[in-house]
Every structure is written in structure tokens, then in C-alpha cells.
Amino acid sequence: MGDKMRTVRHRRESGRILVGTSGWTYGSWKGLFYPVGLPNARWLEFFTGQFPTTEVNYSFYHLPKPSTYEKWASQVPQDFIFSVKASRYITHVKRLKDVEDPWRLFLSHARSLGTHLGPILFQFPESFHRDDDRLKDFLEMVRRGSSRLRLVCEFRHESWFSTGVYRLLNRLGAALCIGDSGRYPRRDVVTADFAYVRFHGRSRLFASNYTRRELDEEARKVKGYLRDGYDAYVYFNNDAEGHAVANAKTFMGLIEKPSVRAR
């Protein structure tokens, strides 16, 4: 199968790209990214001056209160986007089964971001093997009442990477996460009207730096998605030693170059 499902909806002449990092509240970034004297309460404000988007990882481990989401929304520019990682209770504990109530609760809180709410990321555990029926039932449940929500599935077991799963995702308007690491499988397949890319670090998971050559290669791929009319969300999750912010900035610069800009 090719790298794109050619039945996406609402295509445009060229797509929009948002580049950021997977989270922003890392103490190790103080002095590397955040000024030493900057209070933690102003980190998000500072972050939004550098990047147009971020992933919320806190929501994977905890259920943020609506007031927390509202506070974040009040601190960002009008066009800033939060991608929100779904609760691990849904993906890791219940493994998509009997999760309608937890999902509704999670979403009702996340909607407090208002227009700043972007894609919802479902990160599957490595031990979760392919189960088409369970995935279909889950996505159909999610789609009831949230037909316009952008959904992303990040699979970490090889069995999920198949034509049948791609078609299922495409039919329900969910994106396959293109996850780059030295540990988990990767397929550059676009199954929705947007691409979603996560860079976890290749030689050391969550810690290794990407070279300029590697970023050049990845920027060319994203340029292709933009040219074909897909939006693209790109997040660097190699945060352990502060490489995420440097790599994300470099990547943004490469995308802005004429050689890799969507035309």
C-alpha cells in the first residue's frame, strides 16, 4: 500500500503545519530553554512565543480539571493548539473495552480548551495486539457526538500495521500516528485529512538528538504531506536532555525554507 489513503475529506491545495514538543513543563529545560529566573507559572506563556502547539501528556496519567484546561487556554494566543493525550485508563487499563463513561468524562474536561483543542492522541501499549473489532467499536463510540474531532492512534505492536487497519482508520476519520523511534514500528501512512508525527529519539528513547541530516529527510516527507493538502502536526518527544526544543526549532526552520515549503 502507498503512503497515503486517497479518500481523505476536506482537502485543500496546501496544508497547514504545526510543530511543537510533547509537553512543556520539564524542569531540565530550565536554563536550556526557559530563562533561569522565569517563574514556572509563566513557562507556558514563554513556550507559546516559540511554538504554535504542544501535546498535553499530563492527561495520560491524570484527569485535568476543567479549570486547569481553562487556565491553559487563557495563557495562549488565539491560534495556539493543544493536542491532548487520552487517559491511559482507556488505552492501557481497559484497552478500549467498556470505556464510554471514562471517555465522555475525559472529553468533557478537555473541551474546556475551547477552540484551542486539537487532536486527541490514543497511545496504545506495546503489549496491545491487533483487535479490529475492538478498535472499530471504540472509534464508532468516540465518533458518536464528536464527528469533527481529530483522532490519532499510535500503535506500538507490529500487528496493527496492516491494510485492514489503515482502511478502518480511514473510514472513521482517524489518523495513524507516524512514530519515529529505535524501538517501535513505524509506517509513513496517512489515513485521515491530516498527518500526525511524533519523534521519540532513535538511538536512545526520549533522549537522543536528531542530526541535521535526519531532520532534513523528515522535513522533505512532511513537505509532501503539505503539498498534497494534508495538515501536519509534528511533535518532538525526545525531551529528556532538552533536545526536543532544539530539534523542533530546527525543523520549523527547515519547513520555512523554500526547498521544503508547501506550494
CATH of the domain at 230: 3.20.20.410
Whether 246 is in a domain gets the answer: yes
* Whether residue 96 has pLDDT greater than 80: yes
Kindly state whether residue 67 falls inside one of the protein's structural domains.
yes
Q: Which of 31, 51, 25 is nearest to 251 (CA)?
A: 51
Mean pLDDT of the chain: 93
Q: What is the mean pLDDT of residues 140-160?
A: 96
- Residue 158 inside a domain? The answer is yes
Residue range 183-192, pLDDT digits in tens: 999 999 999 9
Is 1 inside a domain boundary?
Answer: no
Domain count, the chain: 1
Residue 18: how many CB atoms within 10 A of its CB? 21
Place 13 in a pLDDT band, splitting at 50, 70 and 90: low
Instruction: Give first-to-last CA distance, the chain, whole Å.
Output: 25
Assess if residue 81 is contained within a domain. yes
Check: CB of residue 99 under 8 Å from CB of residue 129: no
Provide the residue range defining the domain that includes 256. 17-260
pLDDT score of 257 more than 80? no
Local confidence band at 242 (pLDDT 50, 70, 90 cut-offs): confident
In a domain, 184, yes or no: yes
Q: Indicate yes or no: pTM above 0.75.
A: yes
Residue 108 lies in a domain: yes
The band of 5, judged by pLDDT with boundaries at 50, 70 and 90, is low
- Looking at 6-20, 21-35, 50-64, 184-198, which range is the least confident one? 6-20
- CA dihedral 22→85→180→207, nearest 10 degrees, is 40
pLDDT at position 168 over 50 = yes
Report yes or no on 8 lying in a domain: no
C-alpha grid cell, residue 121: 492522541
Give kind and range of the element (H or E) at residue 226: helix 212-227
For residue 35, pLDDT over 70 is answered with yes
| Longest Cα separation, the chain | 52
Residues paired with 151 in a beta bridge: 120, 174
Element (H, E) at 231: strand 231-236
Q: Residue 35: helix, strand or coil by DSSP? A: coil
Among 11-15, 71-75, 151-155, 164-168, whose mean pLDDT is lowest? 11-15
